[in-house]
Structure 1
Amino acid sequence: MASSKRSWSLSTLPPELIEEILYRTPAKSLVRAKPTCKKWYALITNKRFIYNHLDRSPKRFMRTVDTIQILDPVTRTLSETPIPNAFQPPYKIDTMVHCDGLMLCMCGRWGSREEERYVHLAIWNPVLRQIRWIKPSKCFTTSDYYGIGYDSKKKSRDGGYKILRFSDRRDDHWYFDYCGEPQVEVYECKTRSWRTLDAKVDWHVDIACKGVAAMGNMYWLAQKEGRFILGFDFSVERFKNVCYCPRSAYDHYLACFEGDRLSLLQQDEESRVIVVWVTNKLTDVDVSFTKYFSVSRPDVPALPFCTEMAPLVYFIGKQKRITAWCERTEGERDTFRVLFTLYEIDESGLIEGSETGRDTETCSFRSFLCGYVYVPSLVPLP
């Protein structure tokens, strides 16, 4: 008797349903699925699909020291892959800035010799395993700050990515002697060329804040006459004072909120009280912070732990929940080890805290500034 079972495959589904399924598929899996058939390859490499998929992709945490570690905060799954050969010493990743799944990597560390003070710059997409080195107009140094974004006024951001370079270390005599007067420069990824901007740097960026990308622009915590949010608009290529931060002696941490706003997490080191502020939409004429919620429970952990730890990386969920990945130490001062912990905190206090790994070394300094909020994407290198 012939079987009554009907043969079925994903390819028999309507195209719009297939597309919806692929939107929910992790970027890494889609890379493996590209060779499946010509239709899938065309869809997965389509610009519209790539950016729609990016907008639906959930946040991850990334850490780079001995390996590339990516943590899913929902499933608590930690994946590890080797650091690409291009980022092995002497071009080891120091810090990164994230935008659309693209990592702008600053490689190289401070040293006593003159040649060790230079930095090498690269754009990297970990999912596509693509790396491109950026040539400087003159030199990159450890005195620089960097940003990556695009002209948000254009309908398509494809090919329109730009890189910002500036230094606020006006008292750095080494910089002046070897690189000349500090300049503000913009790199056009499309033409692969630098342009010098007529911009005056008269503020200091918080050294622990390497920048937050939102809606194509960059934002930093900075100080001049009080702490404020410094922005750089890639559409008009100008710095701007976005708004002042709420006055507080607490530690400050900046992050993106819901894609088009910023969040500011403050915590008192002694009482451990947490206050979370969020801005209105960054596209509004007047941007300001509003108190979102606060946490003052005895079970709340001290998120920074100490000044020698890597700065806190976190994001705020819609349910007024803090998801943070940070470090704590175990042992004595000279022999302590670094433990990595994922925390879930809301207004009621600590929901959960779980250890996700331990450093193999007994010193935390090499992991300084190594944590990032990251969204895996299929965006090709510009």
Structure 2
Amino acid sequence: MVDLSVEIIVSEILTRVPAKVVGRSKCVCKEWCALLSTQEFLRVHANRSLNSSNQRILFVGDHSISVHPINVQSGVYGPSTIVSFPFNDISIHSHLNGLLCLHLNNTSELLLWNPITRAYKHLSKPDCHGFFEHNSDTIGLYMDAYDDYKVLHVKCRCRAFVVSIYSRKIDSRRNIHFITEPEYVNPTFSWSTGTLCCDTLYFTVASAMLEIKMW
């Protein structure tokens, strides 16, 4: 019997397993944790996860999500797994790479949720960072150049924008300077959820007069 080196196990086996298994494997030892956290491993794992055998399609209902494996080439999907939402009375505001950004309607909190692993992360803090208002806030999700998952939160408060970016990698939030047309701060304007295209987030801004702008 041939013993496999740690490098072979990581590069040829663990790059092909689901993300949930990778997360558990980081607990084996410090060496595994370090190897599974490198940018090269994350890049290879992400590329191999794009194989049709690893793709899933979600059908969202009022109280649960139906998860189906799907063959991208044929368009055929397999038997479903029913996943309940982690909380009652929620709204889905955005999604990217399998993660959903949810709004808890009762408390105005935001959270990221992975319906495959059932794991979730609260984005709202006691200092009111991350709390979402339906009529004046919007959300955009994107990945930066370092493969860090980011949540852009645009808030309109007292006729001024307060914009923050949450980093999933370091679990922190920072405010950024935001420049846009002054009239867009007017409460008569509404902003759509951000759409990611070619590494840029786009928002549709519409007024009560049905005038539409792209930011």
1:168-189 per-position Cα deviation (integer Å, ceiling 9, x unaligned)? xxxxxxxxxxx53252512343
Instruction: Name 2:82's counterpart in structure 1.
Output: 80
SS in 1 for 2:123: strand
Higher helix share: 2
Asked which structure has the greater CA Rg, the reply is 1
Change (3 A) 1:49 1:29: same
SS in 2 for 1:30: helix
The yes-or-no answer on 1:30 pairing with 2:22 is: yes
Question: Could you tell me how far apart the structure 1 residues matched to 2:47 and 2:205 are?
Answer: 29
Per-residue deviation at 1:146?
0.9
Per-residue deviation at 1:81?
3.5
Instruction: Name 1:194's counterpart in structure 2.
Output: 175
Instruction: Name 1:163's counterpart in structure 2.
Output: 152
Contact 2:111 2:120 (8 Å CA) reproduced: no
Change (3 A) 1:43 1:125: farther
TM-score, length-normalised on structure 1?
0.40
Number of positions where the alignment pairs a residue of Structure 1 with one of Structure 2: 191
Change (3 A) 1:104 1:49: same
SS in 1 for 2:42: helix
Change (3 A) 1:164 1:53: same
Question: Percent identity among equivalent residues?
Answer: 20
Per-residue deviation at 1:105?
1.9
Give RMSD over aligned pairs: 3.8
Task: Structure 1: state its 5+ residue gaps.
Answer: 1-6, 109-115, 168-178, 231-238, 240-382
Contact 2:66 2:82 (8 Å CA) reproduced: yes
1:73-115 per-position Cα deviation (integer Å, ceiling 9, x unaligned)? 225242233433xxx23xx32013223444322221xxxxxxx
Instruction: Name 1:324's counterpart in structure 2.
Output: none
Change (3 A) 1:23 1:212: farther
Residues 30-179 of structure 1: matches in 2 within 5 Å? Answer: 30-35=22-27, 39-58=31-50, 59-62=55-58, 63=60, 65-74=62-71, 75-84=77-86, 88-89=87-88, 92-108=89-105, 119-126=108-115, 127=117, 129-135=119-125, 136-137=128-129, 140-143=132-135, 144-152=137-145, 156-158=146-148, 161-166=150-155, 179=157
1:2-27 per-position Cα deviation (integer Å, ceiling 9, x unaligned)? xxxxx35xx52683475133222222
Change (3 A) 1:131 1:204: closer
Task: Structure 2: state its 5+ residue gaps.
Answer: 72-76
